[in-house]
């Protein structure tokens, strides 16, 4: 809760301050440049100090061990309105990246969820895949693929993308991903080198569809509170507040291409206002004037992308892609396809970068240092009259203060020793095993009682002494065991007929006695499933997995009569069409029947969640 409140305050300060300074910088032409720069510089210093203070406090908080069903390995980034963790999916056995939106602002959370829905439906080799969305402790999170390799800005600094063939190879894959997104009505709006990642196999991935942009803002603030690196890639219509479309991304691709060719951005300046002015009013130098190695064909492509008016640019990413493919094939005519060309060229370029070891679990994506010990609060910056804003985020803390693993090992051994002593003290079987039939030394040995000798009495009869029958010792009841349940997907759970949790749950901790237990899982529109699990004294985790898949069946309106009903393995699913109907994952026979016609039959394989739904399109009676 403290994390959400602290980061929410930082976001409120950032957004209010950013808007105020952006409006002042763009609209106040009468103000002198010196006084404006001085005031914005001082204000930005104070804002940066506040955000660093919040970041230090957040970094010092304990990291969660799990988020939903995912195990947290380490924190790899923090800032703005969220935190990014490197995680592990224990069911599919793969690394993932987990982004958490930790602001209490409901509007930001709704935008976060909406963007997750948009990107979650973009399944393309050049777009970062989103696997899951959920809420943990009232904080929403997105789970996406964990990317290796390097960001494009890192490759720029290492000077491994300087030749035209490599540059065109990158741009082709970026445009292929953008064209796929544009066809589905999604505009990225933030294309820049830090949002483009090149993997070791030569694949290019577009990242951060409006989600991670704010996460990085806290560490890249400039004099006006707006990320100068982002401003350099804005299209004129974005600055003017006009509607954006696919041509906005085309402009940003042109800026990236110009930077890859020349090593500099086409619109550069020390202040944000000058950068925005140049984008709106000035034409950049020709790439061939900055770098003589640029061909006329590539220069023409870049200049068309950078046209001020959207009508003068490429109208779609597909148009731009066609010209880039022509340049690529002309440069390397022996390549069979542009895909073979682009990935092969980039694989060779990536050999100039150090390759992270695949066996190293501590090699994160875009790692950000996370302080573990109590950080020293940053000192508020002074407010001098003429100073330049040069702040490098500092990480306080000493690794020597981290707790040694010896302490944990000693604690475990101590607990085991206490448990063994208790067992030996109370268990007769353990005493017999250790001390033999003589018994434990702390249990007194019973003194034998002498049996009196019978005396003959002429008038009486000898009466024998009665022997007491020992009572059987009661059998000890096994102690309950604390077990963590992991339910995938989240469902309503009953344990031995008693409800567990409230409503649908992803799992939790429960104490169960050793032995067999019955778990019943219920999901809407899915058959109730009963599972039996054996609990022992060593059981720590119980996995309860439903093999759930999603099935969509559409009909051909021109060939199929109305009133069709779908059956799966002989059981009725309902009238068609079906949209994302929950069914058991695996192989099935799908049959759709209509009155008076032959049925439609097909063998299908429904993938298990979180895989996308299986779509059976345009079903109709056979001809």
Q: Summarize pLDDT for 357-399 with one digit per residue, the tens.
A: 444 444 433 333 333 333 344 444 443 333 333 333 333 344 4
Domain boundary at 330, 350, 370, which?
350
Does the pLDDT at position 295 exceed 50?
Answer: yes
DSSP 8-state assignment for residue 436: G
In-domain check, residue 577: yes
In-domain check, residue 456: no
Does the pLDDT at position 402 exceed 50?
Answer: no
Q: What is the pLDDT of residue 146?
A: 93
User: Which range (162-166, 437-441, 470-474, 563-567) has the least confidence?
Assistant: 470-474
High-pLDDT (> 70) share of the chain, %:
68
Mean local confidence (pLDDT), 109-125:
84
Active site residues: 190
**Gap between the Cα atoms of 41 and 457, Å rounded:** 121
Residues 615 and 590 in one domain: yes
Residues 258 and 346 in one domain: yes
pTM over 0.95: no
Domain boundary at 350, 371, 402, which?
350
Q: Which of 63, 67, 61 is nearest to 75 (CA)?
A: 63
Residues 162 and 272 in one domain: yes
Q: Tell me what the pLDDT averaged over the chain comes to.
A: 75
| 340 band by pLDDT with thresholds 50, 70 and 90 | low
Does the pLDDT at position 56 exceed 50?
Answer: no
In-domain check, residue 298: yes
Q: What is the pLDDT of residue 262?
A: 92
Number of domains, the chain: 3
Q: Taking the CB of residue 549, how many other CB atoms lie within 10 A of it?
A: 22
Q: Return the CATH number at 492.
A: 2.60.40.1120
| 306 band by pLDDT with thresholds 50, 70 and 90 | very high
In-domain check, residue 203: yes
In-domain check, residue 183: yes
pLDDT greater at residue 506 or residue 44: 506
| 337 band by pLDDT with thresholds 50, 70 and 90 | low
Residues 301 and 174 in one domain: yes
Question: Which residue range forms the structural domain that includes residue 259?
Answer: 150-350
User: Which range (293-297, 327-331, 368-372) has the least confidence?
Assistant: 368-372
Residues 198 and 173 in one domain: yes
In-domain check, residue 46: no
Domain boundary at 545, 571, 598, which?
545
Residues 286 and 167 in one domain: yes
- In degrees, to the nearest 5, what angle opens at C-alpha 125 toward C-alphas 122 and 128? 60
Residues 169 and 255 in one domain: yes
Residue 196 tokens, joined:
């483009």
| 45 band by pLDDT with thresholds 50, 70 and 90 | very low
| 515 band by pLDDT with thresholds 50, 70 and 90 | very high
- DSSP-derived 3-state class of residue 37: helix
Output 381-387 pairs: Cβ under 8 A, ≥24 positions apart. 381/45, 381/46, 381/48, 381/49, 383/42, 383/45, 383/46, 385/38, 386/38, 387/41
Peptide bond into 489 cis (omega under 30): yes
Residues 534 and 569 in one domain: no
| 120 band by pLDDT with thresholds 50, 70 and 90 | confident
Does the pLDDT at position 309 exceed 70?
Answer: yes
Residues 249 and 320 in one domain: yes
Q: Return the CATH number at 169.
A: 1.10.510.10
Instruction: Output the DSSP codes for 61-121.
Output: SPPPSEETTEEEEEEEEEETTEEEEEEEETTTTEEEEEEEE----HHHHHHHHHHHHHHHT
In-domain check, residue 331: yes
Residues 565 and 508 in one domain: no
Residues 202 and 316 in one domain: yes
Q: Which of 284, 300, 276 is nearest to 26 (CA)?
A: 276
| 424 band by pLDDT with thresholds 50, 70 and 90 | confident
**Gap between the Cα atoms of 528 and 463, Å rounded:** 71
User: Which range (34-38, 551-555, 614-618) has the least confidence?
Assistant: 34-38
High-pLDDT (> 90) share of the chain, %:
33
pLDDT greater at residue 465 or residue 534: 534
Residues 154 and 176 in one domain: yes
Model pLDDT for residues 179-225, shown as the tens digit of each residue: 999 998 889 888 999 899 999 888 999 988 753 333 333 334 333 33
Q: What is the pLDDT of residue 523?
A: 85
| 24 band by pLDDT with thresholds 50, 70 and 90 | very low
Length of the chain: 623
Per-residue exposure over 484-521, b if at least 16 CB sit within 10 Å of its own CB, e if not: ebbbbbbbbbbbeeeebbeeeebbeebebeeeebebbb
In-domain check, residue 442: no
Q: What is the pLDDT of residue 290?
A: 87
Greatest mean pLDDT among 426-430, 443-447, 609-613 lies in: 609-613
Model pLDDT for residues 174-189, shown as the tens digit of each residue: 999 999 999 988 898 8
């Amino acid at each position: 809760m403290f994390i959400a409140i602290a980061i929410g305050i930082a976001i409120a300060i950032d957004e209010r301050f950013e808007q105020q300074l952006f409006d002042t910088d763009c609209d106040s032409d009468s103000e002198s440049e010196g006084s404006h720069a001085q005031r914005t510089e001082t204000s930005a210093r104070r804002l940066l100090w506040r955000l660093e203070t919040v970041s230090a406090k957040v970094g010092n908080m304990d990291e969660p061990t799990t988020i939903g069903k995912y195990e947290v390995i380490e924190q790899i980034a923090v800032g703005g309105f969220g935190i990014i963790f490197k995680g592990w999916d224990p069911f599919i056995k793969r690394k993932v990246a987990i982004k958490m939106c930790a602001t209490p602002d409901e509007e930001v959370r709704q935008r976060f969820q909406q963007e997750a829905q948009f990107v979650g439906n973009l399944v393309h080799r050049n777009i970062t895949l989103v696997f899951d969305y959920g809420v943990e402790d009232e904080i929403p999170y997105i789970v996406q693929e964990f990317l290796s390799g390097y960001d494009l800005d890192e490759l720029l600094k290492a000077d491994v993308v300087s030749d035209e063939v490599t540059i065109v190879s990158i741009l082709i894959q970026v445009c292929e991903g953008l064209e796929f997104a544009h066809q589905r009505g999604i505009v990225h709006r933030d294309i820049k080198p830090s949002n483009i990642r090149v993997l070791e196999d030569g694949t290019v991935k577009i990242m951060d569809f409006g989600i991670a942009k704010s996460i990085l803002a806290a560490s890249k603030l400039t004099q006006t509170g707006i990320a100068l690196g982002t401003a350099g890639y804005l299209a004129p219509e974005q600055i003017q507040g006009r509607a954006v479309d696919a041509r906005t991304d085309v402009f940003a691709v042109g800026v990236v291409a110009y930077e890859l060719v020349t090593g500099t951005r086409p619109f550069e300046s020390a202040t944000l206002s000058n950068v925005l002015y140049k984008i709106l009013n000035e034409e950049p130098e020709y790439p061939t004037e900055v770098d003589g190695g640029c061909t006329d064909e590539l220069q023409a492509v870049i200049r068309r992308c950078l046209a001020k008016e959207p009508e003068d640019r490429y109208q779609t990413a597909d148009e731009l892609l066609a010209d880039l493919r022509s340049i690529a094939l002309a440069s390397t005519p022996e390549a069979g396809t542009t895909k073979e060309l682009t990935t092969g060229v980039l694989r060779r370029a990536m050999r100039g970068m150090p390759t992270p070891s695949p066996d190293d679990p501590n090699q994160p994506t875009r790692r950000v240092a996370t302080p573990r010990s109590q950080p020293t609060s940053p000192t508020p910056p002074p407010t001098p009259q003429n100073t330049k804003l040069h702040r490098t985020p500092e990480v306080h803390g000493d690794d020597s203060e981290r707790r040694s693993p010896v302490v944990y090992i000693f604690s475990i051994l101590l607990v085991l020793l206490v448990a063994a002593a208790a067992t030996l003290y109370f268990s007769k079987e353990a005493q017999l095993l250790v001390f033999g039939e003589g018994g434990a030394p702390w249990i007194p040995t019973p003194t034998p009682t002498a049996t009196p000798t019978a005396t003959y009495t002429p008038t009486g009869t000898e009466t024998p002494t009665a022997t007491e029958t020992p009572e059987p010792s009661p059998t000890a009841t096994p102690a309950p065991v604390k077990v963590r349940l992991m339910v995938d997907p989240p469902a309503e759970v009953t344990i031995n007929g008693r409800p567990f949790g409230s409503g649908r749950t992803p799992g939790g901790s429960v104490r169960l006695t050793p032995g067999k237990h019955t778990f019943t899982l219920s999901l809407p529109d899915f058959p109730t499933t009963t599972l039996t699990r054996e609990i022992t004294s060593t059981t720590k985790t119980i996995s309860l997995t439903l093999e759930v898949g999603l099935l969509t069946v559409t009909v051909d309106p021109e060939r199929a009569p109305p009133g069709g009903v779908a059956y799966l393995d002989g059981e009725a699913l309902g009238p068609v069409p079906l949209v994302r109907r929950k069914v058991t994952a695996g192989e099935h026979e799908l049959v759709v029947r209509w009155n008076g016609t032959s049925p439609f039959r097909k063998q299908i394989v429904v993938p298990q969640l979180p895989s996308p739904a299986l779509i059976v399109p345009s079903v109709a009676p056979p001809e």
